[in-house]
Amino acid sequence: MSVTIKKIAKDLDLAVSTVSKALRDSHEISAETKARVFEHAAKLDYIPNPYASSLKKGRSGNIAVVLPEVADSFFSAAINGIDSVAHEKGYHTMVYLTHEDIQREQSIVREFRNGRVDGVLMSIVANNAKYEHLRELCASDVPLVFFDRVCEEIPTASVITNDFESGYIAAQHLIEKGCKYIVFLSMPGELAIIKHRQNGYQQALQDHGMQPCIIYCTDSEDENIAILDKLLTGENKPDGIIGSIEKITIPVYTVCHSRNIPIPSAIKIIAFSHLQIAALLNPPLTTIAQPAFEMGKAAATILFKTLAKKYDLKDEKIVIPSVLMMRASTHTD
Amino acid sequence: MSVTIKKIAKDLDLAVSTVSKALRDSHEISAETKARVFEHAAKLDYIPNPYASSLKKGRSGNIAVVLPEVADSFFSAAINGIDSVAHEKGYHTMVYLTHEDIQREQSIVREFRNGRVDGVLMSIVANNAKYEHLRELCASDVPLVFFDRVCEEIPTASVITNDFESGYIAAQHLIEKGCKYIVFLSMPGELAIIKHRQNGYQQALQDHGMQPCIIYCTDSEDENIAILDKLLTGENKPDGIIGSIEKITIPVYTVCHSRNIPIPSAIKIIAFSHLQIAALLNPPLTTIAQPAFEMGKAAATILFKTLAKKYDLKDEKIVIPSVLMMRASTHTD
């Protein structure tokens, strides 16, 4: 490569160091000189790409965060946790959204294998059992750390919360508040976090001699409203609801409000949610709040330790506990 | 460059087309062959980077979205609007967060000038009057489209909402509901959207012979709670509040709840917010809702028209109106 730089320098009658700096987009070099260098480099088919030098150094200066969505207070807080570490390390954080679409996830992840990013932090899409793209990434030189929505079949580091225990605690809280028929609002698919929460709920009900009931919601708010409307106005109404993901909260409250079902006297509600605004809802919502910022921060910290070659990612599994925030939606009258 | 590819092909006894495909990470080539090609290319100092070929084609396949934060329902919905267009065009959307920090914004934007991305969609940081990095980007070959938080001094396309008119409508709504002393909660700095909303508010008050009062909030929720606590428990209490940005909503409600100030009987509240959960707050919050998804979609549409060389960005300014959503926080008793 230096042959090309020497040639550019000779052709343009510039010092090699000047050309090199210009190609690295150094602020020491004037815009005019840079323009001449870039133009001539293009003629010689030399790629004046900031990635080129960063690749040689083995560093792009970027980490990627791959998420299903950002319209979720958990993920937006987790990004801030990740970015707080990345910024300190002099890296940029690029966020990619999969919109719960496995094809988008595959396409995004396959971009990462050749040095576009130095590391990847990821929460996988729901409702999917295809992991080949994750295996490929894991087998490449680009380190991968899962947070929250992990793929348990891929041997790499992960940062999770205590989902089984939290599901148990949520159910136990409703049982203690006198609920006799507690429904768990789940999502179809393979997502480990939902399964663990659901298993915790089932265990709690079993320990109290109660019958579990799982209702599956969808990605569509309208469909969820229809499902919940049927549930809450039908013959066999629950007196307790556990929402396993944040996006189910709005449909539950919307149906209770529109059908004049009083919370908490007719039904008590607890949701897995990091929503800061939960305390201002009518009534304030009891939540199992995941430590979103801390999980993001921990995941980024592991990644940067790996980038500094101090870590074997396979060995690393961090569990940060969630917190039950009791509010009026589960009060006893 | 083809000289190097030929050399790799010769050295490894492979066809030139095989090497070329391997370097482009084609799925037609086996992992083993790719590994051999990449390894040998590295020895020859040849950069097997997907950016290389995309740069030659003049396309990275990425657009960047630069935003202050994602923990804001406007921005998260706008990203979805942008991504809906980008996905259709076969592009990936990379989101970068500035966290309202001008140095991060400068550092992120300066990365874009050499082909890392094909185009940039941007909402600028508040509280800043330094635009040199934006001028540089605008002067480069990378097209830039502003949405929502535009920099009016940079001659490029923008997608905005009718902020002056919305500020006027918000104030007029409170005046019609009988408010006599309406405070506008503003943010310090140069942000055009806040200025326009504020000017609209001032015009409405002037048209009704009323005295405007502007209170400046900060980026800190704790500081905002302190500011609002002082305002709402002091001698001269307002009976109407306009929150100029979404993040002021939680502090206003928090102080009213903690001080037992009844909404809307003692104070009526209207906020510029795209919060879907506004209808479930206690009481439901009247909002001026920006068309976030549509604004993102429009901004991305302009950008892709430019990438197809059909557009002069300077001429383009799209205004999509906001919508007043009347709810209980501004009802008359």
Does B94 or A41 have the greater pLDDT score?
Answer: B94
A-chain residues within 8 Å CB-CB of B257? 280
Three-class secondary structure of residue B90 per DSSP: coil
Over chain A, what is the mean pLDDT? 88
Average pLDDT of chain B is 88
Which residues of A are less than 8 Å from B87 in CB distance? 99, 104
Residues of A in contact with B116 (CB under 8 A): 50-51
**pLDDT of the residue at A310:** 62
Quote the radius of gyration of chain B (alpha carbons, Å).
25
- Taking an 8 Å cut-off on Cβ atoms, the answer to whether A80 and B99 are in contact is yes
Between CA A23 and CA A9 the distance in angstroms is 11
Q: What is the ipTM of this complex?
A: 0.78
Please report the pLDDT score of residue A114 as a whole number: 64
Q: Write down the pLDDT at residue B254.
A: 95
Place of tokens 């013959």: A235
Does pLDDT of A50 surpass 70?
no
Helices and strands in chain B, H and E counts: 12, 12
Cβ contact, residue pair A115, B49, below 8 Å? yes
Q: Please compute the mean of the pLDDT values over residues A236-263 and round it to a whole number.
A: 94
Q: What does the pLDDT look like over A101-160, one tens digit per residue?
A: 999 999 999 888 766 799 999 999 987 778 899 999 988 888 999 999 999 889 899 999
- Render pLDDT for A277-294 as a digit per residue (tens, 0 to 9): 899 999 999 999 999 999
Q: What is the DSSP string of B199-215?
A: HHHHHHHHHTT---EEE
Integer Cα distance of B34 and B24 in angstroms: 9
Q: How confident is the model at residue A51 (pLDDT cuts 50, 70, 90)?
A: very low
CB contact under 8 A, A113 and B45: no
Q: What is the pLDDT of residue B126?
A: 83
The reply to whether residue A104 touches residue B87, judged by beta carbons under 8 angstroms, is yes
Kindly give the confidence (pLDDT) of every residue in chain B, 333 residues in length, as a single tens digit, with 9 standing for 90 and above.
445 778 888 888 888 888 877 776 666 777 778 778 877 876 775 644 444 444 444 577 899 999 998 888 899 999 999 999 999 998 999 999 999 899 999 999 988 876 679 999 999 998 777 889 999 998 888 899 999 999 988 989 999 999 999 999 999 999 999 999 999 999 888 888 999 999 999 999 999 999 999 999 998 899 999 999 999 999 999 999 999 988 898 999 999 999 999 999 999 999 999 888 899 999 999 999 999 999 999 999 999 998 887 667 777 899 999 999 999 999 986
Q: Which residues of B11-50 are buried (b: 16+ CB within 10 A; e: fewer)?
A: ebebeeebbbbbbbbeeebeeebbebbbebbeeeebbbbb
Q: Report all structural domains of chain A as residue ranges with CATH numbers, in order of start.
A: 2-48 (1.10.260), 62-160+292-320 (3.40.50.2300), 163-289 (3.40.50.2300)
In whole angstroms, give the CA distance from residue A7 to residue A235.
83
Q: Is the pLDDT of residue A300 over 90?
A: yes
The verdict on whether omega for the bond into residue A50 sits within 30 degrees of 0, i.e. cis, is: no
Q: Which residues of B touch A51 (CB under 8 A)?
A: 47, 49, 51, 116
A interface mutation test: which of B26, B38, B49 has the most A CBs within 10 A?
B49
Residues in chain B with CB shorter than 8 Å from the CB of A104 are 87
Q: Which of A12-21, A40-49, B322-331 has the highest mean pLDDT?
A: B322-331
B contact residues 237-276, partner A, Cβ 8 Å cutoff = 249-250, 253-254, 257, 275-276
Q: Which of B55, B92, B254 has its CB closest to that of A108?
A: B92
Any B CB within 8 A of A320 CB: no
State how far the Cα of B34 lies from the Cα of A110, in Å rounded to an integer: 14
The pLDDT, as a whole number, for residue A121 is 97
- Provide mean pLDDT across the span A52-67: 70
> Cβ of A96 and B97 within 8 Å?
no
Write down the residue that tokens 């090497």 correspond to.
B19
User: What pLDDT was estimated at residue A38?
Assistant: 72
Considering only CB atoms, B94 lies closest to which of A45, A77, A94, namely A94
pLDDT at B303: 94
Decide if pLDDT at A230 tops 90: yes
With CA atoms as reference, the chain A residue closest to B109 would be A92
For A258, name the nearest residue in chain B, comparing CA atoms only: B280
